[in-house]
Structure 1
Amino acid sequence: MTQRVELATVMDRLDIDDLITGYAVAVDDGDWDGYRALFAPDGRADYRAAGGVEGPAAEIAGWLAGTMRLFPVRQHLIVNRRLRFQDLGGYPGDRAELQADYLNPMLLRSGPTGTGAGTGTDAPGSGATAGPAAPDFVSGGRYVFTLVRTEEGWRLRGVVVREKWRRVPGARDGI
């Protein structure tokens, strides 16, 4: 591999890292237009292993928008990223797969509009004075992101969530 190809590969890694971070931020901030923009035109997401749905990214963004209203405070932590590029005879191609573990604490909305027993603020800047509470819902697992290089840069072709564990209100301590 030439020095130019090695530099391009480093730049691809940085671009993909930014894309995956953008995914977490879009979901956590409820930026559904931003979420859709992360995907290639044929991009899909599969949240079935976490109790969700599977389908085209635009449809999934709508489903997430409705579902995430129950969790006004959320924070995806995506770690232990393992990236593999398509191999074209020793040179990286225009496809890649990234597997990464996640930890996802979320606070259920409290009060008459929610279903949970959240005890802290309903949203950042809500004016409540109770202060932040422990999350009501925490899950962990692994994402599998399939990526493709497009004219606009790297985009998600697929997102698959493989939830490994979940802790909910009133559940016994432990995993």
Structure 2
Amino acid sequence: MDRLDVIDTCTRMAWHTDQREWSRLTEVFADKVTLDYTSLNGGEPATLTPAQIIDGWQHALGAYRATHHLLGNHLVTLDGDTAVCTASFQATHRKPDDTSWTLGGTYRFDLTRTDAGWRISGVVMTAVWSEGRP
């Protein structure tokens, strides 16, 4: 059951983002989350609160007409109250001018079991390919 709950938590991150259900993202994140998008943006990983993540994503992803994040090929490793879920992804970002930017790669999610269920405490996105311009 834990394996399915871990996968569901990761899937809900993508779903709530694509549906613009920003407040629902608080249901998937731990109190502090380390985000590593350095393969795409350079820089350093950042440790943020859910409110900071939501604000940033709402600003950045909300500028697109629509987004669609697909996750698949989930591999879950459980170790007591922690878990790692790796998944392949393809993310399409539809721009206001009807052009799109699509990228693919892998996600690594670090999760912690809380009284409220599994929560994401770390995300590493590794971009492998892209098509179009961000």
Q: Is the shorter-chain TM-score for this pair beyond 0.5, marking a shared fold?
A: yes
Is structure 2 residue 95 aligned with structure 1 residue 108? yes
Partner of 1:54: 46
Higher CA-based Rg: 1
Tell me which protein shows more strand as a share of its residues.
Answer: 2
Aligned CA RMSD, in angstroms, stands at 1.7
CA contact (8 A) 2:101 2:130 kept: yes
User: Which one of the candidate residues 113, 121, 126 is aligned to 1:157?
Assistant: 121
Q: Could you report, residue by residue, the CA deviation over 1:59-110 in whole angstroms, capped at 9, with x for unpaired residues? A: 1221111111221211111011111111xxxxxx010101111001121112
- Name stretches of at least 5 consecutive residues in structure 2 with no aligned partner: none
CA contact (8 A) 1:43 1:158 kept: yes
Aligned-pair distance for 1:45?
2.1
Partner of 2:12: 22
Aligned-pair distance for 1:18?
1.4
CA contact (8 A) 1:48 1:54 kept: no
Structure 2 CA distance for aligned equivalents of residues 140 and 33 of structure 1: 26
Partner of 1:97: 84
**SS of equivalent to 1:163:** strand
Structure 1 CA distance for aligned equivalents of residues 88 and 18 of structure 2: 16
Structure 2 CA distance for aligned equivalents of residues 71 and 139 of structure 1: 14
Aligned-pair distance for 1:47?
2.3
Letter in 2 for 1:50: L
Greater relative contact order (Cα < 8 A, sep 6+) = 2
Partner of 1:144: 108
User: Which one of the candidate residues 15, 32, 44 is aligned to 2:22?
Assistant: 32
**SS of equivalent to 2:3:** helix
Sequence identity of aligned pairs in percent? 29
Partner of 2:58: 65
Tell me the TM-score normalized by structure 2. Answer: 0.88
Tell me the TM-score normalized by structure 1. Answer: 0.68
- Name stretches of at least 5 consecutive residues in structure 1 with no aligned partner: 1-10, 87-92, 111-117, 119-134, 170-175
Segment drifting more, 154-163 vs 39-48: 39-48
Letter in 2 for 1:108: K
- The 1:59/1:48 distance shift into structure 2, 3 A limit, reads farther
The size of the alignment, in residue pairs, is 130
